[in-house]
Amino acid sequence: MDTDAGLVRRLLASQHPQWAELPVERVPSAGTDNAIYRLGDDLAVRLPRIHWSVDNVAKEQKWLPVLAPHLPLAVPVPVAVGEPEEAFPYPWGVVRWLPGEHATVGPAR
């Protein structure tokens, strides 16, 4: 599934208009499951990129808030759910932005 900042902005305008005017920037990722876009300073949008990752969206949105307080590191806790619509046929989510370096960009050492 191809995504871009324009799609993210349209989805936000449709479902979460309070964030639709924030800056949107794609985050480089070596992963295949989700496209990630930084949303303003404190949020990120996660869009499934491939059919096998679609079911994981609901699992993450259910379990990450439950597990987060018990983990020794920060995880991207969901703050909003995005529903499928004509512009994007999969569920998606808005999560808290985690500052730091992306662990999988570049060659493994």
pTM reported for the whole predicted model: 0.86
Over residues 39-58, the mean pLDDT reads: 90
Task: Report d(CA 75, CA 4) in Å as an integer.
Answer: 24
pLDDT at residue 66, as a whole number: 95
Question: Using CA atoms, how far apart are residues 30 and 88, in angstroms rounded to an integer?
Answer: 22
Query: Based on the number of CB atoms within 10 Å of its own CB, is 36 exposed (0-12), middle (13-18) or buried (19 or more)?
Result: buried
Q: Per-residue confidence at 17, pLDDT binned at 50, 70, 90?
A: very high
Q: 22-47 pLDDT, tens per residue?
A: 999 999 876 778 899 999 999 999 99
Strand partners, 27: 36
Per-residue pLDDT tens over the stretch 60-87: 999 999 999 999 989 889 999 999 999 9
pLDDT score, position 50: 83
